Amino acid sequence: MKHLFLAAMLCGMSFMATAQNTSVEQSTYGIQIGLFGVWAHNEAKLTNSLVFRSELGFDSGIWGGTYYEKTGFLMTPVITIEPKWYYNLNSRSNKSKNIDGNSGNFISLRGSYHPDWFVISNYDNVRVISDVSIIPTWGIRRNLGRHFNFETGIGLGYRYIFASSAGYSRDESELAGNLHLRIGYRF
């Protein structure tokens, strides 16, 4: 059922993409930094308004409070793939607004994997349990000059945690959110 829903969503995005006169970039590379990480990405054109984004980076987190000796910080690798539909490129172009570097509003299906490879932290022996998440996201990207941009997005989806591989009795799943604000540089 999930596969049927995903196929229908991508077909619908492709159908709507053909109605526009403008187009996303053929391929764009960049780096982005946010409050909770740093990422390198590529967006490859699939249709005039649909791209496939691949991303490698580090998600980070902090913890603290009365239960911990000191405030903790960690960074862990993340691999993300994400089909993105830029739905307002034609409207932005008609209003003489910039669409270079895929500057526009988008809807995406963000899939992320946090492997248990290594962790960078101010504590010793910190371990991250591997997980996979799929989160439908709405967002915007805007240019700040020729090479700089900012991107923000919000979404709610599903997360599966491979807890049994870390020694727990069973794997778990939960509701997952995506709230990001990033500043980036496009090459």
Q: Work out whether the CA dihedral 38, 154, 87, 142 comes out positive or negative.
A: negative
Which CATH number goes with the domain that contains 64? Answer: 2.40.160
Token pair in block for residue 161:
């945690």
SS3 at position 32: strand
C-alpha triplet 139, 144, 149: angle, nearest 5°: 45
pTM for this one?
Answer: 0.82
Pairing type for strands 104-114 and 72-86 reads antiparallel
For residue range 26-84, list pLDDT tens digits in order.
Answer: 999 999 999 899 999 999 999 999 999 999 999 998 888 777 777 889 999 999 999 99
Total structural domains within the chain: 1
Q: Where are the alpha helices (DSSP H) in the chain?
A: 2-17, 89-94
**What residues make up the domain containing 165?**
2-186
For residue range 117-169, list pLDDT tens digits in order.
Answer: 999 998 888 888 999 999 999 999 999 988 999 999 999 999 999 998 888 89
